[in-house]
Amino acid sequence: MLKNILFTICFSLFSNLLFAAETQSPEMANTLRSDGKIYVVVLVLATIFAGIIAFLIRLERKISKLEKNK
């Protein structure tokens, strides 16, 4: 019972913080969006993410190959 009450209190506090964060508009994002540089940021992040995915796939293939040899 105490666990449920603590969970409810923590969840309600956390949801209030998220609601407060949504109402504020970050100035940096507006500036990047108006200058058209937000697309550069998205492209860089997508490239980094694709590189990480490719690295993990390559690593998984190498590990599978080593496991088959043993």
The pLDDT tens digits of the residues spanning 24-39 come to 667 777 777 788 888 8
Mean pLDDT score across all residues of the chain: 80
**Residues 45/51, Cβ–Cβ less than 8 Å:** no
Q: What single letter denotes the amino acid at residue 45?
A: L
- How many domains are there within the chain? 1
pLDDT by residue for the chain (70 residues), tens only, comes to: 666 666 667 666 666 666 555 556 677 777 777 888 888 989 999 999 999 999 999 999 999 999 998 7
What's the domain range around 36?
Answer: 2-69
CA distance 33 to 38: 5
CA distance 3 to 48: 41
